Amino acid sequence: MSKQDALPISISGLTKSYGSLFALDHVDLEVKSGEFLTLLGPSGSGKTTLLMALAGFTRPDHGSIRFGDEEIVTMPPHKRGVGMVFQNYALFPHMSVAANVAYPLKLRKVPKAEAAGLVERALETVQLGGYGERRIGQLSGGQKQRVALARAIVFSPRILLMDEPLSALDKNLREQMQIELRHLHEKLGMTTVYVTHDQREALTMSDRIAVINHGRLMQLDAPRRIYERPANRFIAEFIGESTFLKLERKGGRLNFAGVELEVDEVPEGRNLSLVVRPERLTILDGTDAGKTNIFPGTVKDLVYQGDTTLAYVTLADGTDIAVRAGMRSEAAIEKVKVGERVALGLKSADVVLIPDEER
Amino acid sequence: MAGTASGAGARANEALLNRQDWQERWALLGLASPAVLTVLIVMVIPVGWLFYLSFLSDDGNFSLEHYDRMLESKAYARIFWTTFKVSFLTTGICILLGYPLAYFLSQLPKRAAALCMLTVLLPFWTSLLVRTYAWLVLLQSKGLINEWGISLGLWEEQLALVHNLTGTLIGMVHIMLPFLVLPLYGSMKAISEDYLKASSNLGAGPVQTFWNIFFPLSLPGLFAGALIVFVLCLGFFVTPAVLGGGKVIMVSNQITNNIELFFNWGAASALGVVLLAITLGILFAATRLLNLNRILGAGH
């Protein structure tokens, strides 16, 4: 299982409908060779349908899927040669750990001695060396997860698919496994398509994230771009916390509640909203710092959350906006009280504008 | 501390809690008592009485003559042989017919499966005697099957389909099939589709997936169904009596003969005891085997 030639995946016009409902609506997506790409979306968004179409378990209505140069959309699942980790692991309960991991090798008629070596190495890769003789029923959730992973990589597939593999684990183990999966991907280098509805997981692990909703690809970008420059309201709401402030356009400038906005550039066209992340706002203590937008308001609520403090501030137009600040860095938030008037600052570089949508 | 202020220090309320424990146990026993009593009256006492009778000679003294006769008489050996043969064949044919049927049902969508299951259950709910006589009408030498077979030119002579082993097997398989299909269907439905998907994803074609994954996981249900069928066959009476035409004599038929023809309660009781012992032995061995399976993880 050394680093190998990974395959790019090329999806175009892929469509799957159930009655009048589109699970996949003309999806075009290029997964680069060796990339860790996450399909992120709420349940029912079509992300799992897309993964199942890649594995061959869902037959699309039309469209094309290519692994490298090969069109595989009509190929049965057992000939696709992709590794897959299922959400509930799907380990065969009547086989030992070693037999589970050896199963794909047995089907590929790998000689027994060679297979045994590969199995042991795969188990060592997932830190379960020596667990071969265990029964599946004797394993903990985290161990099952690792065995499922070992089984999916033991035959050195050039593409690895994962369907919410960490969703059944508790929080600490999940975070640990995220890092491990990330390292494993760096080591093995196979093209990986990972499905999750957990935005933090997607941000932690991915080279790129494809945000999917209503069967459509909403944005395909690096995690930082997805978080800091969301393309539309859905993404801004789904990933992280956001408040939306409706802007007025006045002769090439943008206004909020009568106050002009400092913006690096004003996009053309439609009506715009300002996306504000709670951690990008600061409570100003009088010393105004250059190109900063100032929003006056009244503190409505203060919530202590351990690592941060959250303040809800009511702005001039009645919108409640959240401000988050770490304990030590921001002395200002420690001093404010409910009912006090404050000024919130947002740097012009942190201004994110999205087109207004009819809702 | 405030929590222990009312009672005897560190073991506060122990006696009260203990009493509650016992009250719950007695309440449970109370609920079970009608069933326990029924089993005692209609099962344990008659079986004990049979056991007692089987050790009495005709003149009322203790003797082992009924058991001696069973060991020595070739007729009895033949009866046991017939009983096992019929039970094995019925179970075997049920497996051959029932496995594909259960598989088919388990793969159908819910509604279609419920409808098809009805066709399995409908005969199951019909009187056993009625079904057995229905087979007699169909299978007899001038019955429907022979008439149609000959008029369609499938065979020329009338086939002996009844009053022999063939007729007995046809009737018994028909009656036993649901007992095999139901547990088997249940265990097949419990096999997660993800196992089959995983197998396919790892490179197994449909046939390999069936033999490597589906079949082993369905075995506990198959064992359970086959066991029920086999044990029911061992003590079966009506069908061999009606469709066997006196040529297929199983243990239960011989028991009736002993009582109705020879008025020999002792001999009948001894046969009953031996049949019971064999059945219990098989059940015991089978449960051991099934448990072993569960330990090996085939249960889930």
All residues of chain B having their beta carbon less than 8 Å from the beta carbon of residue A93 are: 217, 297-300
pLDDT score of B247 more than 60: yes
Contact B243, B136 (CB under 8 A): yes
Check CB contact under 8 Å for B203 and A104: yes
Domains of chain B, start order: 81-296 (1.10.3720.10)
Nearest by CB to B194, from A90, A103, A135: name it.
Answer: A90
The CATH number of A241-355 is which of 1.10.40.60, 2.40.50.140, 3.30.70.1400, 3.30.160.40? 2.40.50.140
In degrees rounded to 5, what are phi and psi of residue A330? -105, 100
All residues of chain A having their beta carbon less than 8 Å from the beta carbon of residue B199 are: 92, 103
All residues of chain B having their beta carbon less than 8 Å from the beta carbon of residue A56 are: 200-201
In this structure, the dihedral spanned by the alpha carbons of residues A297, A298, A304 and A309, taken in order and rounded to 10 degrees, is 20
All residues of chain A having their beta carbon less than 8 Å from the beta carbon of residue B204 are: 78, 103, 107
- The interface predicted TM-score of the complex, written ipTM, equals 0.84
All residues of chain A having their beta carbon less than 8 Å from the beta carbon of residue B205 are: 76, 78
Beta-carbon pairs below 8 A across chains A and B: 70
Residues in A lying within 8 Å of B, measured between beta carbons:
55-57, 76-84, 86, 88, 90-94, 103-104, 107-108, 135-137, 151, 155
Check CB contact under 8 Å for B204 and A107: yes
pLDDT score of A355 more than 70: yes
Check CB contact under 8 Å for B204 and A78: yes
Tokens of A345: 């600052």
Average pLDDT, chain A: 88
* pLDDT, tens digit, 9 for 90 and up, residues A17-43: 998 899 999 999 999 999 999 999 999
Check CB contact under 8 Å for B300 and A84: no
All residues of chain B having their beta carbon less than 8 Å from the beta carbon of residue A88 are: 192, 194
Check CB contact under 8 Å for A77 and B200: yes
Please state the pTM of the whole predicted model.
Answer: 0.81
In chain A, list all ranges with CATH 3.40.50.300: 9-234
* pLDDT, tens digit, 9 for 90 and up, residues A39-74: 999 998 999 999 999 999 999 999 999 999 999 999
Contact B177, B170 (CB under 8 A): no
Topology of the domain covering A9-234:
Rossmann fold (3.40.50)
Average pLDDT, chain B: 87
Closest approach of B190 to chain A, Cα-based (Å): 12
A60: nearest Cα among A92, A103, A15, A26? A15
In chain A, list all ranges with CATH 2.40.50.140: 241-355
Tokens of B2: 């405030």
* pLDDT, tens digit, 9 for 90 and up, residues B44-94: 898 898 889 888 887 778 888 888 888 888 888 889 999 999 999 999 999
